């Protein structure tokens, strides 16, 4: 892939905007799509996404549009960063505009509620045959604000076709973004989606006033249940030791910029889910919806995921946070790797 190419980015939330800025700063010509015409016009004129990424100036070679065809047609690489629950709808609307050889990169992290489909499965179902065979998935510990600020970050690009992963690596890598390649798409996808559920649990422990011991236990046992589900679905256990597993999990469970951890903090302090979502003012915490998907998927496959079950009870069955912790601590004793 040439060093400087035309790239379309679908989704102008904080992470989509940060990645679009990074790609444009590298020298690519970037077209960023947002659903609302007024928002597109405001960003194009002000050179800033004031709602989702205030303070980060958009380079002159980054153009903003509300026209899907304008963002996709003729571009060899398209990045989709729509929220996971909106990815299928977005791709279905965009389907006619993709070229036969387009590489489609997904940076969305989640699992659909009703279908229990990963983003990999959504892309395979909704893209034309050519692009569907040339998909990649970008994941790893990467807060949007820090990516936009150019702070050193490492991520992983996963694709079943190693040449596609390498092409994405070449397109995205900069002196501040190190991109590793991987072929374990399932592992990278699940690591990126399920860490958000565990981050809500870690935040809840902090909100309840528990200490570092609790947080370390949640992270470690959370990784164990993520790995169990991943291996059951065909992933390599080693993937969960990497950037899309442990790396992203630690960041999201401990970082102050984590929206999922913030949801957990508020739950631990006694707020209801409805209050928390209202206070987020349009920001998306993927872990809220993914908790339902992960719980349903685990039950379907017969995989034990006690932290996920506990978070489902808190989020969707109004179980008090302290009771959920007591339930987890009161489970039967067992071997650590059992």
Spatial distance between the Cα atoms of 199 and 311, rounded to a whole number of angstroms: 10
Containing 178, the helix (H) or strand (E) segment is: strand 177-182
User: Which residue in the block uniquely carries the two structure tokens 């949007």?
Assistant: 144
CB 159 within 8 A of CB 139: no
Spatial distance between the Cα atoms of 82 and 297, rounded to a whole number of angstroms: 22
For 149: left if phi > 0, alpha if psi spans -120 to 50, otherwise beta; the answer is alpha
Q: Look up residue 183 and give its DSSP letter.
A: S
| Active-site annotation holder among 21, 109, 195, 289 | 195
Neighbours of 280 (CB within 10 A): 14
DSSP, collapsed to helix, strand or coil, labels residue 65 as strand
User: Which residue in the block uniquely carries the two structure tokens 């150019």?
Assistant: 150
| Torsion sign (Cα): 203, 207, 208, 213 | positive
Is 195 among the catalytic positions? yes
Containing 33, the helix (H) or strand (E) segment is: strand 29-33
User: Which residue in the block uniquely carries the two structure tokens 């970008």?
Assistant: 138
**Side-by-side strand order, sheet with 62-65:** 62-65, 29-33, 6-10, 77-80, 103-106, 135-139, 153-158, 177-182
DSSP, collapsed to helix, strand or coil, labels residue 8 as strand
Q: Which residues are catalytic?
A: 195
């Amino acid at each position: 892939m040439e060093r400087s190419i035309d790239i379309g980015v679908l989704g102008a939330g904080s992470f989509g905007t940060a990645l679009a800025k990074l790609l444009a700063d590298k020298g690519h010509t970037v077209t960023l799509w947002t659903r609302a015409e007024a928002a597109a016009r405001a960003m194009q004129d002000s050179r800033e996404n004031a709602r989702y990424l205030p303070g980060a100036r958009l380079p002159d070679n980054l153009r903003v549009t509300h026209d899907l065809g304008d963002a996709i047609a003729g571009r060899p690489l398209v990045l989709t960063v729509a929220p996971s629950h909106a990815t299928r709808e977005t791709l279905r609307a965009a389907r006619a505009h993709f070229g036969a050889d387009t590489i489609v990169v997904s940076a969305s992290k989640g699992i659909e509620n009703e279908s229990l489909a990963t983003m990999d499965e959504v892309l395979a179902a909704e893209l034309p045959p050519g692009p569907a065979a040339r998909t990649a998935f970008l994941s790893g510990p990467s807060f949007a604000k820090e990516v936009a600020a150019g702070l050193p970050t490492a991520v992983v690009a996963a694709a079943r076709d190693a040449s596609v992963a390498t092409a994405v690596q070449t397109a995205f890598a900069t002196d501040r973004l190190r991109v590793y390649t991987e072929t374990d798409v399932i592992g990278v996808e699940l690591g990126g989606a399920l860490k958000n559920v565990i981050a809500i649990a870690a935040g809840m422990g902090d909100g309840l006033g528990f200490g570092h011991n609790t947080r370390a236990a949640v992270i470690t046992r959370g990784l164990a249940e993520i790995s169990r589900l991943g291996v059951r679905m065909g992933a390599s256990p080693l993937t969960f030791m990497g950037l899309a597993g442990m790396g992203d999990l630690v960041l999201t469970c401990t970082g102050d910029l984590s929206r999922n951890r913030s949801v957990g903090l508020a739950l631990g302090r006694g707020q209801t889910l409805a209050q928390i979502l209202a206070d987020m003012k349009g920001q998306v915490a993927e872990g809220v919806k993914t908790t339902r998907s992960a719980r349903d998927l685990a039950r379907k496959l017969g995989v034990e995921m006690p932290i996920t079950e506990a978070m489902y009870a808190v989020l969707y069955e109004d179980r008090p946070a302290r009771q959920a912790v007591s339930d987890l601590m009161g489970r039967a004793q067992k071997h650590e790797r059992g």
